[in-house]
Amino acid sequence: MTPTISSDIRAAANRALIAGSAEYFSGTADEQEEFRATAGKEARCRMQRVLLKQVLGIECSAADASETWRELSLHQLNDINPADLLISGIGDDFVYLNESLHKGVSLLDFETLYDYDFDDFLFQEEWRHKDLKDYVSPGYLPLYHSRWIRLVMDDKFVYGNLFSVASYVVSQVAEAGDCRLDELIPSSYVEGPNHGKPQNGGVIWDHQLDADGQEPQLEELRRRWWQHQRDAEHALQRELADAPPHAYILQDESPVPGEVNVNFVIQNEKAMRKVFWRTFLADLRAIEGNTKDVENLIKREVNSGLRFIAEQYQDIQANYVAPDIMPGKERKLVISSGALDDLDRLSREDSKDD
């Protein structure tokens, strides 16, 4: 069932907001928005407790609300997330950015998509220059990393993805190319001998590539393919930098029944500066472009990518010699046992959906 923002959902959210702050509805619209965006942990737990009871019929204390929320199934989250958005989103569309922000910072500190994205770019660049040897910055590229948002769109709760046109096009190219790689060199990951063994308070995650003896060739083809995608995205970013400041709203298929997923695809920096968080949908629709333009770019870049794969596959099969590398120190990925339990739980829920 499509998650509509019903009157019951709004009533539950209003009760939660009062639990969070008894003075909420006596404040101005700006003060109410400020509370939703910046509510502290204790207020958030009080609101979660109300939503758990009103939406899902789950009784718990405010002290236990956060932990109870973490244990919800995907189906329960889909039921409660629309109400949760109404107590945390900002602006006309109750936009909620599902990304980490610095302590004491909220989405209200950034007027436009560009303001947030460029600030995050500067933060990431500082880390890369500090920790990555010989790092060479490509400079600021709008939405070089996609973002997850939630919002109300046409009275429906929507999971949104923020892409640049370049990153969206290349994501489609990557999907087509990965399928071609699997046709050329079929592969899978199989459990290694150490998978699931306890170590350092967790368990070892050990899965190994199996390509029927062509693992080195596949790894090299993947390496070249990844580099092609990166080069193609940078080239597209440069090509579109001076294009009109358009945006595109593209429906996306969801693997979860009842979810509404939408891709919000932004052409360039000029478009990013025109979209304000508090008037998100209105600003996007004001600069909305023809989706045929994006479809044509995808077709062009997919054809180019598949030609690249064919050429590189032939070259690797004919000429590639795997380097004779001395084995180095074995690296192990150790995860908490609880994480494995969560993966098992998600797998069981996916099986029920199938």
State the pLDDT at residue 328. Answer: 43
* pLDDT band of 255, cuts 50, 70, 90: confident
Do residues 222 and 181 lie in contact, with contact meaning Cβ atoms separated by under 8 Å? yes
Helix and strand numbers (H, E) in the chain are: 12, 10
Average pLDDT over residues 221-249: 97
Asked, for residue 173, whether it belongs to a domain, the answer is yes
* Same domain as 218, residue 116: yes
Closest among 180, 176, 173 to 221, alpha carbons compared: 180
* Same domain as 96, residue 76: no
* Same domain as 174, residue 33: no
Contacts of 256 (CB under 8 A, 6+ apart): 74, 78, 353
* Same domain as 237, residue 142: yes
* pLDDT band of 216, cuts 50, 70, 90: very high
* pLDDT band of 346, cuts 50, 70, 90: low
Domain final position from 45, 71, 88: 88
Asked, for residue 343, whether it belongs to a domain, the answer is no
Do residues 55 and 13 lie in contact, with contact meaning Cβ atoms separated by under 8 Å? no
Domain final position from 69, 88, 107: 88
* Same domain as 102, residue 2: no
Better-scored residue on pLDDT, 128 or 330 = 128
CB burial of 315-347 (b: ≥16 within 10 Å; e: otherwise) equals ebeeeeeeeeeeeeeeeeeeeeeeeeeeeeeee
Q: How far apart are CA 351 and CA 109, in angstroms?
A: 42
Helices 215-240 and 291-319: crossing angle, nearest 10°? 150
Asked, for residue 347, whether it belongs to a domain, the answer is no
Closest among 103, 98, 46 to 77, alpha carbons compared: 98
Does residue 343 carry a pLDDT above 60? no
Closest among 271, 236, 278, 283 to 117, alpha carbons compared: 271
Q: How far apart are CA 277 and CA 281, in angstroms?
A: 9
Please report, as a single letter, which amino acid is at residue 150: R
Asked, for residue 334, whether it belongs to a domain, the answer is no
Q: How far apart are CA 108 and CA 95, in angstroms?
A: 11
Lowest mean pLDDT among 91-95, 130-134, 144-148: 130-134
* pLDDT band of 192, cuts 50, 70, 90: confident
Do residues 166 and 237 lie in contact, with contact meaning Cβ atoms separated by under 8 Å? yes
Asked, for residue 221, whether it belongs to a domain, the answer is yes
Better-scored residue on pLDDT, 257 or 139 = 139
Q: Is 127 left (phi over 0), alpha (psi -120 to 50) or beta?
A: alpha
Average pLDDT over residues 181-191: 93
* Same domain as 316, residue 179: yes
Q: Which run of H or E residues covers position 248?
A: strand 247-252
Q: To the nearest whole percent, how much of the chain has pLDDT over 90?
A: 73
State the pLDDT at residue 354. Answer: 54
Asked, for residue 135, whether it belongs to a domain, the answer is yes
* Same domain as 139, residue 26: no
Torsion over CA of 175, 179, 185 and 186, rounded to 10 degrees? 110
State the pLDDT at residue 264. Answer: 98
Asked, for residue 335, whether it belongs to a domain, the answer is no
* Same domain as 96, residue 80: no
* Same domain as 159, residue 126: yes
Count: domains in the chain: 2
Average pLDDT over residues 308-319: 97
Q: How far apart are CA 12 and CA 279, in angstroms?
A: 25
Does residue 2 carry a pLDDT above 60? no
* Same domain as 268, residue 287: yes
Helix boundaries (H) for 57-112: 62-70, 74-86
Q: How far apart are CA 175 and CA 233, in angstroms?
A: 14
* pLDDT band of 329, cuts 50, 70, 90: very low
Computed over every residue of the chain, the mean pLDDT equals 90
Please report, as a single letter, which amino acid is at residue 339: A
In terms of residue numbers, what domain contains 38? 1-88
Does residue 218 carry a pLDDT above 50? yes
Asked, for residue 298, whether it belongs to a domain, the answer is yes
* Same domain as 104, residue 217: yes
**Residue 29 carries which DSSP code?**
H
Lowest mean pLDDT among 67-76, 223-232, 332-341: 332-341
Domain final position from 59, 88, 117: 88
Q: Report pLDDT digits (tens) over 14-59.
A: 999 999 999 999 999 999 999 999 999 999 999 999 999 999 999 9
* Same domain as 124, residue 72: no
Q: Report pLDDT digits (tens) over 112-125.
A: 999 999 999 999 89
Q: 275 — phi, psi (to 5°)?
A: -105, 115
